[in-house]
Structure formats: structure tokens, C-alpha cells
Amino acid sequence: MESQTVIAVVEDDPEIGPLVAALLRREGFEAELCPTGDAFDRLRARRRVDLAILDVMLPGEDGLSICRRLQAEGEVPVLMVTARGDDVDRIVGLEIGADDYLPKPFNPRELVARTRAILRRTRDRHRVAPVPAPERWRFAGFVVDLETRSLHDPDHLDIEVTGGEFDLLIAFVRHPRRVLSRDQLLDWTRGRDAQPFDRAIDVQVGKLRRKLAQHPAGETLIKTIRGGGYCLAAGVERA
């Protein structure tokens, strides 16, 4: 998801809500905390929401009622979260259209994993229109042309890359000198086709490195960050 994904955390608990929002922000999402259904509606009136994490027990309109409204409109995916352990709540939530259900207390990593899974499955609902062509970028003498999906080295020679390698390169040039995790690269390149613990990113990074290294200027452009992911070490500018 190339533009920042907006997640509404509809939770009235003064401890859990801020913790969930902070967790999502650390993962690269833009999280908006809404303590009530009314606050959530005000948020939706002023900006696009890509996913709603809904607590069932809320003051005023409860989470199940909000979920029912959202599914009638058919736009915002929903992850239901509740302290209730009753299977009835889970079944009702799924029957009225929730995309997934997570009981409290939950593992933070599981919340993030389920969030990413929902966004991959439903990305067509909130896809943002691509940047209009032409879009060309230059880094370390290399030129990337998004309109023709081509890559040229500093000697103006064409470098053949696959579709997946080119999508990966786009992610790097749009986020230069920034550590990108495998999950982020999966989101931006493979989307809903990605599988849990997918290692295809590592393979594609290796192939892209070798192709850039055909020119001396490209030997050390993509760096591996231990425990973090990958980083394009060069600055990028519009060509």
C-alpha cells in the first residue's frame, strides 16, 4: 500500500485504545483513535478509512451495530475485537459481515498479522489511484521510468528486470534511505497474493542486486539491515 493506510481504532478503553494505536503506528500505519461510534463517523466524514478495528462493547452504539452499518455500505473492512469470549458474539460478528474476529486479551503480533491479512484480501476496496504517468526517478546514475516500466544504467543501457523486480525497485525508489521490512515490501509488491512468512522478497532482492551490480555504481546500492529488512542507500530525485 503505497500511500499510508488509515486504520480507525474504535475502542473506549483508555489503556487498550492508545496501546493498539501506538502499535499500529510503529508498524507503519496511520492509526486514528475513536472512543465512540459518533467519533468514528466524524472521522469517516473527513477522510478515507481503510480498516476499522471495532470493539464490541462501546458507549452508545455498539460495535456490532456499527459493523452492520459498514457492511451495508460495503466499503470499510472490519476486524472485531472484544473482551467477551462467548462464541455467540464471534458468530454474530462474522455473520453480519466482519472480516475477522479477535478476542481479548490478544497477542500484539497476532493483531498486526490479522490486520495485514485483511488489508491484503480487501485492498481493492481502498486502492488509491496510481500516480499519473510519466513518473521517472534517478538514483546513482540509474533511471527508472514508471510509464515504460524500464530501468537504465548510468551508461544509458537498458537493464532487463521482471515485473516483480520492477515493483520491488519502485518501492525502494519511493522510500529511499529508509529501512523497509519484508512485510512492507510484501504489501507494496505482492499484496493479497503474499503468503505468511513469504521469502520471495529475499530472492527478488538478490536478483535485483545482481542486475544493478552489472554496473560498478550499483554494487552496494541495496543494503541488508540485520533484523530490519532492506534499504536503498542512494538518494533519489525526479528525472
Query: What is the mean predicted confidence (pLDDT) over 165-188?
Result: 88
All CATH 3.40.50.2300 domain ranges in the chain, comma separated? 6-125
Higher-confidence residue of 183 and 9: namely 9
Contact (Cβ atoms closer than 8 angstroms) between residue 224 and residue 208: no
Residue 18, preceding peptide bond in cis (omega within 30° of 0)? no
Measure the CA–CA gap between 99 and 78, rounded to whole angstroms. 5
pLDDT of residue 35: 94
Contact (Cβ atoms closer than 8 angstroms) between residue 93 and residue 56: yes
- Would you place residue 94 in the very low, low, confident or very high pLDDT band (cuts 50, 70, 90)? low
Would the CA dihedral through 185, 178, 29, 132 be positive or negative?
negative
Look up the CATH number of domain 136-238. Answer: 1.10.10.10
Contact (Cβ atoms closer than 8 angstroms) between residue 115 and residue 8: no
pLDDT of residue 129: 45
pLDDT of residue 56: 86
pLDDT of residue 47: 87
* Parallel, antiparallel or unpaired: strands 150-152 and 158-159: antiparallel
pLDDT of residue 75: 74
The CATH number of 6-125, from 1.10.10.10, 3.40.50.980, 3.40.50.2300, 3.40.50.1820, is 3.40.50.2300
- Would you place residue 191 in the very low, low, confident or very high pLDDT band (cuts 50, 70, 90)? low
Measure the CA–CA gap between 100 and 81, rounded to whole angstroms. 9
CB atoms within 10 A of CB 232: 22
Higher-confidence residue of 156 and 135: namely 156
Helices 182-189 and 163-174: crossing angle in degrees, nearest 10, is 120
| pLDDT surpasses 70 at 146 | yes
All CATH 1.10.10.10 domain ranges in the chain, comma separated? 136-238
- Would you place residue 113 in the very low, low, confident or very high pLDDT band (cuts 50, 70, 90)? very high
Measure the CA–CA gap between 47 and 99, rounded to whole angstroms. 21
Contact (Cβ atoms closer than 8 angstroms) between residue 34 and residue 77: no
CA 5 to chain centre: 6
